[in-house]
């Protein structure tokens, strides 16, 4: 058999995707801090387990509840928050398109949540110096998923249940079950930032 150029290309493609997979670290949420400490900025991970979605409006409510000393609809202890507001689930699906939103908009609320027990976040884009500091102080991790890959990422979500603020629609808090959700460690527990010192204040 003659090996044509296309075969070689295909072979290297499969090889690289296999290597890509084998290089990913499989981790399961809720995370313990020992595991989070072992991750380094730039690591590729596949996240399984339970995380909670929350974006702008839900953060504002949680933050107001914290300030006013009101009871929260979810315990923040050991949770991972995914900054995401899905599109509606089509017929026979658990969720619609479900990629990350820009994390920086949550920066002003984040340190308070980390101090109350949140251990990890999944989003996209830069974080402020204050968030980085708080991540380091609390031994937390900030993961980045690929922005605009909502259809692909939705395939790794096997269950979604609205557990708080249903009136917020796409911005409500959902309990999500993930199966090999692909992400990168952007800021590790030492405060090292894959994006360097770039920040968006």
Partner 1 sequence: MREIEVAVVTQNIKEMCIEANHFLSRDMIDCLHSAKETETNSLGRQVLEQLNQNLEIAGKEMIPICQDTGMAVVFVELGQEVRVVGGSLNEAINEGVRQGYREGYLRNSVVNDPLKRINTNDNTPAVIHYEITCSDKITMTLAPKGFGSENMSRLFMLKPSDGYKGVIDAVITAVREAGANACPPLVIGVGIGGTFEKCAYLSKKALTRPVNEMSAISHISQLEEELLAEINKLGIGAGGLGGKYTALKVNIETYPTHIAGLPVAVNIGCHVNRHVTRTL
DSSP assignments along 160-194, one per residue: EEEEE-GGGGGGSEEEEEEEEEEEEEEE-TT--BT
Kindly state the helix (H) or strand (E) to which residue 135 belongs, with its residue range: helix 129-138
Give the Cα separation of 121 and 141 in Å (integer).
7
Among 46, 125, 130, 133, binds partner 1 (CB under 8 A): 125
User: In the range 165-184, which residues lie near partner 1 by CB under 8 A?
Assistant: 169-170, 182, 184
Write each residue from 81 to 120 as x if it is in contact with partner 1 (CB under 8 A), else as -, in one continuous string: ---xxxxxxx--x--xxxx-xx-x----------------
Among 147, 163, 165, 190, binds partner 1 (CB under 8 A): 147
Query: Closest Cα partner for 109 from 76, 73, 147?
Result: 76
CA 137 from chain centre, in angstroms, equals 19
First to last CA, the chain: 59
Q: Is 150 in the site for partner 1 (CB under 8 A)?
A: yes
Q: Tell me how far, at minimum, the Cβ of 173 lies from partner 1, in Å.
A: 16
List contacts with partner 1 (CB under 8 A).
17, 20, 42, 44, 57, 84-90, 93, 96-99, 101-102, 104, 124-126, 144, 146-155, 169-170, 182, 184, 194-195, 198, 200
């Amino acid at each position: 058999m003659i090996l044509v150029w296309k075969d070689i290309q295909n072979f290297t493609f499969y090889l690289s995707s296999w290597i890509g997979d084998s290089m990913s670290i499989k981790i399961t949420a809720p995370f313990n801090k020992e595991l989070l400490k072992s991750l380094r900025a730039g690591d590729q991970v596949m996240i399984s387990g339970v995380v909670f979605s929350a974006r702008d409006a839900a953060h504002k409510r949680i933050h107001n509840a914290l300030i006013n000393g009101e009871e929260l609809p979810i315990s923040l202890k050991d949770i991972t928050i995914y900054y995401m507001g899905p599109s509606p689930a089509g017929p026979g699906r658990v969720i619609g398109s479900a990629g990350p939103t820009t994390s920086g908009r949550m920066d002003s609320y984040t340190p308070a949540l980390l101090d109350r027990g949140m251990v990890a976040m999944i989003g996209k884009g830069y974080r402020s110096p204050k968030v980085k500091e708080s991540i380091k102080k609390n031994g937390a991790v900030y993961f980045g998923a690929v922005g605009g890959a909502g259809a692909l990422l939705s395939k790794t979500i096997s269950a979604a249940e609205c557990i708080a603020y249903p009136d917020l629609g796409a911005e409500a808090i959902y309990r999500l079950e993930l199966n090999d959700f692909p992400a990168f460690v952007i800021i590790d527990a030492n405060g090292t930032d894959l994006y360097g010192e770039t920040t968006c204040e």
